[in-house]
């Protein structure tokens, strides 16, 4: 089995297992990540009637928000994992959205024609792709000339205590090896310019990146731990490796640390994402072979 196949298989298993938790914690996750969807949508240059492609859409964002904004348009939500897209379909139906459809596929091998979409979004998907260069080339291939690609990734762990509190608690019981930069992990694309370089390498122009602040809000420290331990890929994977007693000690540690973030009767933990936008150059009017 190739490295890419192995990565896709591991991702399929991991996200199929996490889909139940993502549905359970839907409203908390969506509230936390809403500023990122808003930032992506703001730069996509959407117009009603457009065809939009959402990559690694998971439980449906930002694709479903885009579908609501352009009722005469069409949104295709794609993901490697059918279970995640089934949650997206249930969310679409609950919200009365009829102009969104789902397709199971890998970001690096899209079953769409060239220049089929006006815009493409990827909210927190890039870091999980087996081949990010190939995936970016696919996004550019299916974009119409002049169309925009906008994605988001997490910046470095120190700026994301909403997840590092849990990971530091886990590290009190488990040696968590440094992540392999060539394999999926939540912070794989955290270096400034990382995704911009992929965009420029694929021929996108007007590439820009900027930071977006988020806040994870839970009703209590207990709820914080329950939510993070069930839906964050890194935490869920690490917790499978320890016994019940160690899990309980980790929980106690995380709850004690996160309590410092209590404000107005809620737990409010900050984080920072980075959004990256680029434009597929419009075709020049010059006929190939004609003198310039």
What is residue 262's three-state secondary structure?
Answer: strand
Least distance (Å) between residue 245 CB and ligand SAM: 30
For residue 212, state whether it binds ligand SAM (rule: CB under 6 A).
Answer: no
For residue 44, state whether it binds ligand SAM (rule: CB under 6 A).
Answer: no
Residue-wise burial string across 42-73, b where 16 or more C-beta atoms lie within 10 A, e elsewhere:
ebbebeeebbbbbbbbbbbbbbbbbbebbeeb
Rounded Cα–Cα distance for residues 153 and 292 (Å) = 41
Q: Give whichever of 52 and 253 is closer to ligand SAM, judged by the CB atom.
A: 52
Helix (H) or strand (E) holding 219: none
For residue 235, state whether it binds ligand SAM (rule: CB under 6 A).
Answer: no
Q: Give whichever of 246 and 272 is closer to ligand SAM, judged by the CB atom.
A: 272
Least distance (Å) between residue 41 CB and ligand SAM: 13
Using CB under 6 A, which of 25, 26, 43, 61 touches ligand SAM? 61
Rounded Cα–Cα distance for residues 71 and 44 (Å) = 16
- Chain positions 100 to 139 lying near ligand SAM, rule: CB under 6 A, are 106-107, 123-125, 128-130
**C-alpha closest to that of 192 among 216, 208, 213:** 208
For residue 64, state whether it binds ligand SAM (rule: CB under 6 A).
Answer: no
Instruction: Point out which span in 7-15, 206-214, 221-229, 267-275 binds ligand SAM (CB under 6 A).
Output: 7-15
The closest residue (CB) to ligand SAM is: 58
Residue-wise burial string across 225-263, b where 16 or more C-beta atoms lie within 10 A, e elsewhere:
bbbbbbbbbbbbbbbeeeeeeebeebbebbbebbeebee
Q: Give whichever of 18 and 207 is closer to ligand SAM, judged by the CB atom.
A: 18
**C-alpha closest to that of 161 among 32, 27, 248:** 32
The residue ranges that bind ligand SAM (CB under 6 A) are 8, 11, 15, 33, 56-59, 61, 79-81, 84, 106-107, 123-125, 128-130
């Amino acid at each position: 089995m190739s490295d890419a196949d192995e990565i896709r298989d591991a991702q399929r298993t991991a996200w199929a297992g996490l889909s139940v938790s993502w549905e359970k914690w839907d409203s908390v996750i969506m509230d936390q990540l809403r500023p990122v969807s808003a930032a992506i949508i703001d730069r996509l240059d959407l117009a009603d009637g457009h065809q939009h492609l959402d990559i690694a859409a998971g439980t449906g964002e930002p694709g479903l928000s885009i579908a609501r904004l352009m009722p005469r348009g069409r949104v295709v939500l794609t993901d490697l994992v059918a279970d995640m897209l089934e949650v997206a379909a249930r969310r679409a139906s609950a919200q009365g959205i009829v102009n969104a459809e789902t397709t199971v596929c890998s970001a690096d091998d899209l079953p769409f024609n060239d220049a089929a979409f006006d815009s493409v979004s990827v909210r927190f998907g890039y870091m999980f792709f087996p081949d990010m260069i190939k995936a970016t080339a696919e996004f550019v291939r299916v974009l119409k000339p002049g169309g925009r690609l906008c994605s988001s990734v997490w910046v470095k762990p120190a700026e994301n205590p909403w997840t590092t509190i849990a990971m530091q608690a886990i590290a009190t019981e488990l040696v968590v090896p440094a992540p392999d930069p060539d394999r999926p992990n939540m912070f794989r694309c955290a270096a400034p310019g990382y995704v911009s370089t992929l965009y420029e390498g694929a021929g996108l122009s007007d590439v820009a990146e900027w930071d977006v602040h988020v806040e994870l809000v839970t009703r209590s420290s207990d709820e914080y731990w329950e939510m993070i331990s069930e839906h964050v890929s890194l935490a869920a994977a690490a917790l499978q490796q320890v016994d019940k007693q160690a899990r309980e000690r980790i929980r106690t540690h995380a709850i004690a640390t996160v309590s410092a973030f209590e404000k107005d009767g809620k737990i409010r933990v900050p984080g920072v994402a980075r959004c990256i936008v680029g434009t597929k150059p419009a075709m020049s009017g010059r006929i190939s072979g004609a003198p310039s």
